[in-house]
Amino acid sequence: MPPLMVSHATFGPRPEAVPAVDVAGEFETIARLLRPLAHPDYARNLSDDVAVLPSRPGHDLVLTKDALVESVHFLPDDPLDTVAQKLLRVNLSDLAAKGAEPFGYLLACHWSDRCGWPEREAFASGLAADQKTFGIHLLGGDTVVTPGPLSLSATLLGWVPEGTAPRRAGARPGDAVYVTGTIGDGWLGLEAARGRLALAPDRVGALAEHYRRPVPRLEFGKAVRGMVSAMMDISDGLVADARHIAQASGVGLALDLEVVPLSAAAHAWFDIRIDPEAAMERLVTGGDDYELLLTAPERDEAALRREADRLRLRLTRIGRVVAGTGVEARYLGNRLDVGAGGWVHGG
């Protein structure tokens, strides 16, 4: 553990004379790796204490902040370019669920001992790639060293037209429930990345890629924000997040797990399970999917499908909103008991 010293490595020039932990490293990290990523107008070239952002009349600013810790949220041997991308994407997924158009982020890097120049360069290259993919820029932040594991947080900012960001709280009895994409690839991807899946290498690779670099559904979120009654991204697992909508909206959600969409790789895994109920439970409670879960009135189904088709995105109706509370998830005639874990047969 390094000695305690003064080291507020806020983005901004940092002279050699300051008695701080690895300040030269933080200074060079900012100058060489982060400044090229800065927003051209609002980041003050990362040489002030702040970012200054003009208001955008008629729009709301959407803010989200997620943190990742090595060995807790990503694997110690995950390449750092993908860790940077995962950091941005788990946050971008929150913006997607609110129909927001992302434009920038602030970043806090707590570098561990193992983060030398090659690791920091890989991290910055991952940021650069996703800045291009998603049209965002770095606005500011902080870079410090830690005696602990590599830890990261990002605050993502996006705009939506005033009053249009969907809530979790708007689901009404009679609404249909949908998910985008496929479910379970996040959990399977973690298993794949840990070398625990006995599947063909291309399946393992596709799943690990999904775990490391999920795809936030930004375009779909923007397209449907005016049609949905509730929307959120699936980060804790389909069933858990359905409960979040149920709880926030004061309703129940009835899910038919037989129609839950699986990827080809997930099918390859699922089809050789000897206990399909246990396997399905894993897929719908595993988390890290970063698909969108939404509810909408019946009358909007055709419009939702048009937007999904236009974006070539799978959209699956998996249930309905009912009066009551909580989630009733059924599969092969049995009911998943989320609280206790496991299945209530014939329940």
Q: Could you say which residues in the range 64-123 bind its own copies, by CB under 8 A?
A: 64-67, 69, 71-75, 90, 94-95, 97-98, 100, 106-108, 110, 112
- Tokens at 156, concatenated: 């993502």
For 247, counting Cβ atoms within 10 Å of its Cβ (0-12 exposed, 13-18 middle, 19+ buried), the class is middle
Report in angstroms the alpha-carbon separations of 253 from 174, 223, 247, 298, 316: 10, 24, 10, 15, 15
Per-residue binding letters, 296-335, with its own copies (x by CB under 8 A):
----------------------------------------
Given candidates 165, 192, 207, 321, which one binds its own copies under the rule CB under 8 A?
165
Nearer to its own copies, 81 or 94 (CB): 94
- Find the shortest distance in angstroms from Cβ 267 to its own copies: 21
Tokens for 159, please give them.
Answer: 């705009």
Number of residues that bind its own copies (CB under 8 A): 99
Nearer to its own copies (CB atom), residue 77 or residue 275: 77
Candidates 36, 148, 226, 347; binder of its own copies (CB under 8 A) is 148
Cβ proximity to its own copies: between 41 and 298 the closer is 41
User: What distance in Å separates the CA atoms of residue 75 and residue 293, rounded to the nearest whole number?
Assistant: 27
Q: Which stretch binds its own copies (CB under 8 A): 56-64, 130-138, 214-222, 297-305?
A: 56-64
What residues between 207 and 246 interact with its own copies by CB under 8 A? Answer: 232-233, 235-237, 239-240, 243-244
- Closest by CA to 294, choosing from 313, 279, 267, is 313
Stretch that binds its own copies, among 58-66, 197-205, 213-221, 301-309 (CB under 8 A): 58-66
Please give the helix or strand (H or E) that residue 109 lies within, else none.
Answer: strand 101-111
- Alpha-carbon gap, residue 171 to 8, rounded angstroms: 45
Closest Cα partner for 155 from 198, 91, 212, 242? Answer: 91
Least distance in angstroms from the C-beta of 68 to its own copies: 8
Residues 178-197 that bind its own copies (CB under 8 A): 186-187, 190, 194
Give the distance, in angstroms, between the CA of residue 4 and the centroid of all CA atoms in the same chain: 34
